Structure 1
Amino acid sequence: MMRNVPVLNPKQHKATAFVWLILIAVISLSSYAAVPLQAVLKTEFPEDPNANDGLSFRVLCYHDARDNLRESFQTWPERGALETSTLIEQFDWLKENGYHVVSLDDILTARKGGAKLPSKSVLLTFDDGYLSMYTRVFPLLKLFNYPAVIGLVGEWLEESKEGKVFYGDRWIARNNFVTWPQVREMVTSGLVEVASHSHSLHKSAISNPQGSLPSAAITRIYNPQTRHYENDVEYIARLRADLGRNSALIERETGKKPRTMIWPYGAYNMLGVQAAQAEGMPIIMTLEAGGNTPDQPITRIRRNMLVFHDKVSDLKRNLLQPASYDGNEQPLTRIVAVDLDSLYDPNPVLQEKKVGELIERIKRLQINTVYLRAVADLDHDGKVDAAYFPNRHLPVRADLFNRVAWQLLTRAAVPAETFYAYVWLPVDGFELPSEQFPNRQVIKDIYEDAAKNAPRIGGLLIGEGIDAKVNPDENLASFTRELIATFKVHQPYAFTALLIPAAALFNDIAGNNAFPSFASLLKQFDFVTVAIPQTIDKSSDTEHSLEVLMDKVTQTPGALNSTAFLLHTAHEKTLVPSEQLASQLQYLQQNGARNFGYYPDQSANDHPLFTDIRPAISLQTNPGQKP
């Protein structure tokens, strides 16, 4: 069926027809003759304020281009694949709407003080080295005169007697990928630069005794036979060996050593960045969204990924999307906080059953954030004396945080890109098994171990228990900056949040000079999470407290964007009725709260009741909105 095409003026019609005639001749696109290129009006969205500064640029990340995309998914589903005609539409839209596709050399020249970039500069990248890069994309690059970067996985380009390569979790035909003669032809054209996408890191690796399989590039591999976790020296050596091998392979086949590292799945840490730099690749590309302004280092180039359902309207949004961490308004957050104590069981089978029940509950709640309290107080003396992750100073009760966080991302998160599993750690109150005093370095070690022993942590929540009475002071604020810096070496993309009791917020506004201002905390952290106690006798007392609290928060302009409200589900040892908790969450939303949730969730006891709490917290229902 022919799609409706808006009326074009003669100039537009002539240009579009010309493009299509050449495309048909160059790459035999007769199959698309019945699907005319749809004309797209210029975007109505606000322009990027940095688009014309001569230094800023955007990067688009593509993967595969296919004919009959939907049908191909029956045998080879690939989220990053686009219909070839869609790619043509996007390339044509870029040209018609004033975007200038630039090369990596253009960007580096501008960064070094040379010729400025043109307005609305865009760099094109194509990951994985699919055969379509040569058969479909390369002809388009020549037609539009667009330069591009291609990221190659060395392991997938190797020849084997069986003619197959291991891709993800299965074997596929080697001829799904480009050949080295084809790569050399593209490089010789001057349009294509080759980057490393690793040699053998584009796959999973075992990260814990339960068998979780995150990206090999960020995983401290666990050996089930020896029960040994990869240490720093072994991890870095593995990365450097892999990156060095791929660089040597690319140099041997193309005559040019790659200067750019594109991390598989966009998963990286600063140790990986240092390994890439040591192997001669100072340019690092990620999958963090947003533009690259002059202050964005080349060791962390942001890219927006296009996927199978993205049309021109999605391309426009990608080209205007603000960076995730530049102070712009954060997305809505719905939070469930979980004590890992409630999931622990000395019987691994029973423990895995509890984990599964939690994962299913979170999935059905349809929220996007889970705080996981990753330490334990075994003797209930108010001191932390065990952890749920491998570390240098505390006994490990079980490697549970890694398991739960990964299961949330792979089973409960839809989509995974907008789901955040936080590790929740205290700053004080550690009780070590030796006489070693828990000084700042020890605490930093614990934070570092939490960060490096669990891949893809969405955020770090810093704070004591939800019932803590101690207010953060200036010394604490200073120390938390050190903890965040240590943590982000291994989790550079993680959000940060500070947990404070509601009483501390009142003390701040009352003029307590020992407490950092609420406004300063909002600047230091992505979120400030306010822990709200409960009353049982009169639910109206809590609602009155919420009213006063909301009034206090709104006194700071913009505070609701990055303030989260965390309601306790119990008062001392008495559980708060589920309907009361749901009513409180609805009250928060009705009065402008963007980020809220509850603690603790007790999935084993269905508290709060799923039927009561889901309508109040799910991102799918939007309860209690004002008319």
Structure 2
Amino acid sequence: MLSRRTLLLSGALLTLWPGWPPVLRARQACDCKRVIHIDLDYLYDSDASQVGRNLEALVARVASIGANTVFLQAFADPVGDGLIRQLYFSNRHLPVRADLFGNVATRLRNQLGVAVYAWMPVLGYALDSTFERVVRVDPKPLVHPPMTDPNQYLRLSPFSKRVRETVGEIYEDLAGSADFDGVLFHDDALLSDYEDASESALAAYAQAGLPSTIHELRADQDIFQRWTRYKTQALNDFTIELLDCAQAVRGQPLKTARNIYALPVLRPDSETWFAQNFDDFLAIYDWAAVMAMPLMEGVRPEVAEAWLERLVDKVAEKRNGLARTIFELQARDWSLPGQPYIEEQTLVSWMTALYKQGARHVGYYPDDFIRGRPRAQLIAPLMRDE
């Protein structure tokens, strides 16, 4: 018989923690993912002894939270602009800020037994100017010539053979530098409905039987949809190509996860704005890592829980949707000056809303293991499997 602190709801075992307000947590008879998404930028310090202390803090932090999976940053982005100028592993193409990734991954895997996914960019590398970039055509071409989008990640063109080969070598070098369990493909793998107008991209469209100008591609609705699908599939194929590069060096399979924005899940027609398709993610990758970040999406705080519930409902409509989707919450509010931490009770409420609605795999980003935010005593009960 179930104790008075345990309920059975919709086939999931739900537990109340003593001393908490009515916080329900889904208890599934499955290997549920509890994910902490870690920036090595927090760990890095020019003082090697401080790096060692920071690493001890990270290991203790992951143990105290009780997560079973870590998405671990393998690149450096201290500026926070998404343009990757340095990496945290030895490689042939970009400077190494510090060779940290392999050591940190090994400590987490061996000491704590957690699964470590290398969080890696797909297109956002600061290679030299001879590499083709994703180029956007402005809706008013007489006002602005084709150019990179200043409001988006500065990305390399996935249609360039040279780009693909070079980024593939970066993934090979990652695989040769560390032991890890999988790869998380970053959210920089996207193309808008006015991209890509680079020379290699236009040539690829023509070879695929599509018009070779953006305006012609957008002029006819059927052609526009074919072009959207072509770009989506090109990005998908490139990530698998990168996975193959890493696996060839590793000599064994790696798990895959890929970040997807919430809008392509909530509104499949928005594939045209992102070149991301949720059905594709569920079919191709082990995990679709949905960025369940209401404030980042401009959702008002008072309706954030309802928005999250609707997101879970949309995922649940898909075959294996809940089984293959990780919901990643935000732990900071990037829309405000100073990017303040979100109050833990808010994060707890969001996480609880996900669980109650049927989410099985949940995590958050970022975790500040130096300052201890979010506070472990508040978040850990929702991140442990016991």
TM-score normalized by the length of structure 1: 0.43
> What does 1:213-232 correspond to in 2, within 5 Å?
none
On the 8 A contact 2:185/2:259 being kept in 1, the answer is: yes
Letter in 2 for 1:426: P
Letter in 2 for 1:480: T
Say which of 16, 32, 37 aligns to 1:337: 37
1:214-259 CA-to-partner distances (Å, cap 9, x unmatched) read xxxxxxxxxxxxxxxxxxxxxxxxxxxxxxxxxxxxxxxxxxxxxx
- The answer to whether structure 1 residue 475 and structure 2 residue 234 are counterparts is yes
Query: How far apart are 1:529 and its partner, in Å?
Result: 0.2
On the 8 A contact 1:330/1:561 being kept in 2, the answer is: no
> What does 1:436-455 correspond to in 2, within 5 Å?
436=131, 439-455=163-179
- The answer to whether structure 1 residue 547 and structure 2 residue 306 are counterparts is no
For 2:120, the equivalent position in structure 1 comes to: 425
Letter in 2 for 1:441: E
Secondary structure at the counterpart of residue 71 of structure 2: strand
On the 8 A contact 2:35/2:67 being kept in 1, the answer is: yes
- The answer to whether structure 1 residue 568 and structure 2 residue 291 are counterparts is no
1:132-174 CA-to-partner distances (Å, cap 9, x unmatched) read xxxxxxxxxxxxxxxxxxxxxxxxxxxxxxxxxxxxxxxxxxx
Secondary structure at the counterpart of residue 424 of structure 1: strand
Query: How far apart are 1:532 and its partner, in Å?
Result: 2.0
**CA distance, structure 1, for counterparts of residue 378 and residue 301 of structure 2:** 16
> What does 1:92-111 correspond to in 2, within 5 Å?
none
* Structure 2 portions without partners, runs of 5+: 1-28, 133-155, 157-162, 194-230
For 1:394, the equivalent position in structure 2 comes to: 94
For 1:618, the equivalent position in structure 2 comes to: 384
On the 8 A contact 1:363/1:411 being kept in 2, the answer is: no
**CA distance, structure 2, for counterparts of residue 565 and residue 353 of structure 1:** 31
For 2:65, the equivalent position in structure 1 comes to: 365
**CA distance, structure 1, for counterparts of residue 343 and residue 191 of structure 2:** 24
1:32-66 CA-to-partner distances (Å, cap 9, x unmatched) read xxxxxxxxxxxxxxxxxxxxxxxxxxxxxxxxxxx
> What does 1:73-112 correspond to in 2, within 5 Å?
none
On the 8 A contact 2:35/2:71 being kept in 1, the answer is: yes
Secondary structure at the counterpart of residue 249 of structure 2: coil
For 1:586, the equivalent position in structure 2 comes to: 352
Computing the radius of gyration from Cα coordinates, the structure with the larger value is: 1
1:166-193 CA-to-partner distances (Å, cap 9, x unmatched) read xxxxxxxxxxxxxxxxxxxxxxxxxxxx
* Structure 1 portions without partners, runs of 5+: 1-328, 414-418, 621-627
1:517-539 CA-to-partner distances (Å, cap 9, x unmatched) read 42222111000000122439954
For 2:19, the equivalent position in structure 1 comes to: none
Say which of 288, 310, 319 aligns to 1:528: 288
Query: How far apart are 1:473 and its partner, in Å?
Result: 2.2
> What does 1:33-432 correspond to in 2, within 5 Å?
331-413=31-113, 419-432=114-127
Secondary structure at the counterpart of residue 105 of structure 2: helix
On the 8 A contact 2:264/2:276 being kept in 1, the answer is: no
**CA distance, structure 1, for counterparts of residue 86 and residue 109 of structure 2:** 25
**CA distance, structure 2, for counterparts of residue 516 and residue 503 of structure 1:** 10
**CA distance, structure 2, for counterparts of residue 470 and residue 567 of structure 1:** 24
State the identity as a percent: 31
Greater relative contact order (Cα < 8 A, sep 6+): 2
For 1:597, the equivalent position in structure 2 comes to: 363
On the 8 A contact 1:534/1:569 being kept in 2, the answer is: no
On the 8 A contact 2:260/2:278 being kept in 1, the answer is: no
On the 8 A contact 2:191/2:273 being kept in 1, the answer is: no
The 1:514/1:350 distance shift into structure 2, 3 A limit, reads closer
**CA distance, structure 2, for counterparts of residue 379 and residue 370 of structure 1:** 22
Secondary structure at the counterpart of residue 289 of structure 2: strand
Say which of 149, 170, 185 aligns to 1:462: 185
Query: CA RMSD for the aligned pairs?
Result: 2.6
Q: What number of residue pairs does the alignment pair up?
A: 285
For 1:502, the equivalent position in structure 2 comes to: 262
On the 8 A contact 1:378/1:386 being kept in 2, the answer is: no
**CA distance, structure 1, for counterparts of residue 175 and residue 379 of structure 2:** 31
